[in-house]
Amino acid sequence: MDLAKWTINNKLISTIIIILTLGFGFSSYKNMARFEDPEFIIRTAQVFVPYSGASPLEVAREVTEPLERAIQELQEIDTISSTSSSGMSEIKVEIKSEFSPTKSELQIIWTKLRNKINDARPSLPPGTGTPQIYDDFGDVYGLSYLITAEGYSPDELHAYAKNLQSDILQVKGVAKVAMTGVQQEGIFVEIAREDLATLGSSISNIYSILDKQNTVISAGNTQIGDQRIFIDPTGSINSIETIQNLLVSATNDGKAIYLKDIANVYRGFQSPATKLVRYNGQPAISLGVASVLGTNVVKVFERVDERVKQAENVRPIGITVHEYYHQGKVVQASVDNFVVNVIVALIIVVVTLLVFMGLRSGLVIGAVLLLTIFATLATMDFSGIPMHRISLGALIIALGMMVDNAIVVTEGILVGTKQGRKKLEIASEVVKQTKWPLLGGTLVGIVAFAPIGLAPGDTAEFTGHLFWVILISLLYSWLFAITLTPLFCFCLFKEQDKDTSTTAKPNMIMAAYQSIVVSSLNHRWLTVAVVIFTFSASMWGFQFVKSGFFPASTTPQMVVDFWLPQGTDIEKTKKDMIKLESFIQQQESIEGVQTLIGGGGLRFMLIYGAESPNSSYGQILAKVDDYRVLDTMIPKVQAYIDDTFPEAQGKVWRFVMGPGGGSKIEATFKGPEPAVIRELSDKAKAIMIEDGGALSIKDTWRQQVRVIEPQYSPINAQRAGVTRKAIAEALQQNFSGKMVGQYREGEELIPIIVRAPLKERSNVNDIGNIQIPSQITGKTIPLEQVTNGFKTVWRDGILKREDRMWTIKAQADPLPGQLASELFNRVRPQIEAIDLPAGYTLEWDGEYGQSKESNEMLASTLPLGLLAMVLIVVVLFNALKQPIIIWLVVPLALIGVVFGLVTTQTPLEFMGILGLLSLSGLLIKNAIVLVDQMDKEIKQGKPRYDAIVDSANSRVRPVMMGTLTTVLGVIPLYFDAFFQSMAVVLVFGLLFATLLTLIVIPVLYAIFMGVKKDERTPVNA
């Protein structure tokens, strides 16, 4: 089918197609989903299993190990990592991406995980709690509020937060509203030791009354006449006074003894707190809002804003709702910024075309480019690809590539009309001659990006839309080049139009280029030697290229991770964090300071990962008005932490644009004995300390903690009728408190906790006088009578495993302003020189490990991509020499890449590696155009030497125009931190390689085809 003639002869249908393309494209742009970053699936679930009273080692062996063994039986499992601490087992389960390409398929795996854990429960020891499985680990609460109150109690603040939570849940498009930082209330019954001794065994009766008095139990129903009447007795505990007036016993003379007579009963907050949240120096409650998957977060969160604004009318004076992070606004600003970049790139490309190809040609190609963009947007919307950093960046990258095909067709038709040929005839001929070479070049360009879209793993999933957007846009560019481009040329070009586009300057440039080509052909081996020398020099210079993974985010936030020694009380952590937050609040450009004590916060960005609960940990998230001030603020805050908190380990940093997280340097030791791998980790940390360029040097097991061990005496205990369990319960009741019932207040269940008065539970020196109930006498006896003294020992407070192997990570980060790769290269040889006993291994995680894993994932699909590109070129030419010539120029891209990265001091990051892969496709496209023209002119009978020179001369403009538009279109991405590395690679690599290609391709063609200097038309002919 003659597509050019069909399009020109059916102008009405073509016009309808154009209008529909513009309409659907504009509609898609207005309505398609928008995100800040791509939604990649976090395939991680957490399993928490309490085992009260057990040491970390007991938890690991008796709870964690059996569950790990059961979970490992699932074929979908990628990694099992566990943390065993006192009384708690935490297991993280990661799923292989090939088994969970979508969230719906991932949910099926979570169901299988639950079944496995339930099946393993009978093998767990008595006293083990119910496993809690959280498969919403990756949920993003993109709208973050912090609620503070002046003059209100924590429970009043909580009550308001619950009301606001209910309001927001009613907004269309809202999936979840999570709350954190709530102070847990309790009804406390404090009984002194002497009273416990007096009560003896009757204390258990008190506990029973507190437990059963508030239990909801059916009292049945009865029939009265035709009615069925339910019976509901009163008498439940409905106030603190009710608890205080519970009858405990009576004296011999009949005097009643109430609970208030022997105990202090009051309502308060549980201590120690598990997690505290503050905002701008005030206690706060954090509220996170998550939208339904796949919705337009901009519109959803606009509706939430409206609901919160409406709630202001009923908000008590003194309560303030602070907006900390608003993904909708961030996304809108990000999209607007990228749209500006797209428009700037579009203007650059169109102006370039107008300047170098003339007004009519420029209008033709510009119109085709605009239609290609709109068609791409419509297809993105239809296929579920939203607007975000990656997809919009792909549009900018593809802008220059989109016009390549249209340039070739337009150039051919323009030359034909200037030769006096009919427009319809030349349009048909040009499309017939070029459509398959152009398709081949387009497919090669697409396949060059294929490893990005088809590779497994989180990193490739994060950047995968880059490939799909380029695939869509380039296919449309080829389709429109052979259909609409001839139509526009037919409408705008004039037959037998005089050539007024060339001036003296272009003639001089073309003459100079032709002279260089001829000189290179006449000295072909010298030319090859110069190119080889230049390439070798660039390979030598590659050692000066800095490496990286993903760049620091431009999000205007600073993160401070603060670690005190393991086992530090949360009140001490709180005290230090308040001091640190005060310092940060005094800094210029600070807009808000969120302080998290005892654990991380809600995942408000996909790239934020919360730290597990730990009383010795604190984190500050500080908003600034401009991310550029962080370059000076981060070192200042880091220096303050180092100078002010000698016991603490602090790390001040910025978020990273992409998957990852954790420390930049991680040396992971694995082996069968915990003590040995801790020793290996200590040696690695010593090397990091000695380097002097690292901070926040620690390990994942943290410091050992002190433990008081009452030395249980079996003989004395048995004589006294005291069990080990009774001792443990008495100790717990005295120091931490023992829950003996629940107090119902509306929908809230508040625990009733029995414990010792403050003066008794805060004095560990008096531990021997704690009263233990005897099963024989019914009285209580002091703890010291059933023990052989007390001993303080040091033991691991945290034990970690990966895939059922003891695992510890020695961690560090580079000083502010330094690259992690530089620190890694310094410490790596020394750490790898540590002598490892048999059965122990060292692996590298952190930035190096993540980068290596991502590159390996990318490389797994690279061979197939290269094979596809080779086959396309071979099929296109139906020969071997031409593909070899074309592929020999691909390595020349490295010359410009190395020069660009070294001169701009830009690290070669993951996105830069993607750009390096895609360069091959761009260069092959250019080479195909040159080689195809040489073959065509030789087949037409032209002397081979002349055919090489004339082909190079005739194709230099479309090749240079394609390169120039791509290079100029990508330049705006240089100013985006995420794409900067890729922009440098594409701009310098493509520019240098294209200039060399225009010279090297003719030389290689002459060498491989055996073309001699005398194979030309005689001068006198």
d(CA 997, CA 989): 12
Q: What's the confidence (pLDDT) of residue 502?
A: 42
CATH code where residue 576 lies: 3.30.70.1430
pTM of the model: 0.78
Pair 971, 999 in one domain: yes
For tokens 């750009």, what's the residue?
915
Q: Are strands 88-95 and 590-597 parallel, antiparallel or unpaired?
A: unpaired
Number of compact structural domains in the chain: 4
Cα(600)–Cα(608) distance, rounded to whole angstroms?
10
DSSP codes, 277-301: EEETTEEEEEEEEEEPTTS-HHHHH
- Computed on alpha carbons and rounded to an integer, the radius of gyration of the chain in Å comes to 36
- CB-side exposure of 242: number of CA atoms within 13 Å? 14
Sequence-distant (≥ 6) Cβ neighbours of residue 92 within 8 angstroms: 44, 45, 46, 47, 79, 80, 81, 82
532 and 566 belong to one structural domain: no
Helices (H), 213-358: 240-244, 259-262, 297-311, 327-357
Task: Give residue 485's pLDDT.
Answer: 92
CA 452 – CA 465 distance, rounded (Å): 8
Residue 182 lies in a domain: no
At 558 the pLDDT is 92
Contact criterion met (CB below 8 Å) for 804 and 671: no
Residue in 967, 41, 905, 908 with CA at minimum distance from that of residue 551: 908
Token code pair at residue 576: 């230090």
Q: Are residue 500 and residue 515 in the same domain, yes or no? A: no
Give yes or no: residues 987 and 902 share one domain.
yes
Is 831 domain-assigned? no
Contact 924, 571 (CB under 8 A): no
Which of 137, 160, 180 terminates a domain? The answer is: 137
640/559 same-domain check:
yes
Q: Can you read off the two tokens belonging to residue 341?
A: 């970049």
Q: Residue 661: its pLDDT value, please?
A: 62
Q: Is 291 part of any domain?
A: no
Range of the domain at 578: 553-655
Strand 77-85 and strand 798-802: the pairing is antiparallel
Q: Are 396 and 383 in contact (CB under 8 A)?
A: no
The Cα 538–Cα 935 span in angstroms is 32
Q: Are residues 365 and 487 in the same domain?
A: yes
SS3 at position 510: helix
Distance of CA 77 to the CA centre of its chain: 20
- pLDDT averaged per 10 residues, the chain (length 1021): 87 93 91 77 88 89 94 92 92 88 86 92 90 82 91 88 92 92 89 73 70 67 77 69 79 76 87 90 93 82 92 88 89 77 76 80 86 93 86 79 83 83 87 86 84 73 84 93 91 68 55 86 90 90 81 84 92 95 93 93 82 91 90 91 91 77 86 94 94 89 89 87 84 85 80 87 83 78 88 90 93 85 91 93 88 77 83 87 88 88 86 80 82 87 87 82 80 81 88 85 89 72 45
Instruction: Kindly state the tokens that stand for 458.
Output: 């989180």
Q: What is the CATH number of the domain that holds 515?
A: 1.20.1640.10
Choose one of 115, 137, 159: the last residue of a domain.
Answer: 137
Instruction: Please indicate, yes or no, whether residues 511 and 572 belong to a single structural domain of this protein.
Output: no
Of the candidates 355, 383, 354, the residue with the CA atom closest to the CA atom of residue 473: 383
Q: Does residue 163 form part of some domain?
A: no
Same domain, yes or no: 117 and 96? yes
Whether residues 389 and 496 fall in one domain: yes
Can you tell me the distance from the alpha carbon of 963 to that of 495, in angstroms, rounded to the nearest whole number? Answer: 29
Both 367 and 489 in one domain: the answer is yes
User: Is 1005 domain-assigned?
Assistant: yes
For residues 667 and 810, the answer to whether their CB atoms sit within 8 Å is yes
In a domain? residue 169: no
> Given the DSSP bridges, would you call strands 787-796 and 704-712 parallel, antiparallel or unpaired?
antiparallel
d(CA 614, CA 625): 31
- Asked if 520 and 645 sit in the same domain, the reply is no
Same domain, 488 and 530: no
Q: Tokens 């070798």 correspond to what residue?
A: 536
Task: Tell which of 90, 105, 137 closes a domain.
Answer: 137
- Residue 14 falls inside a structural domain: yes
Task: Decide if 204 is inside a domain.
Answer: no
Pairing label, strands 263-269, 185-191: antiparallel
Pairing of strands 44-50, 77-85: unpaired
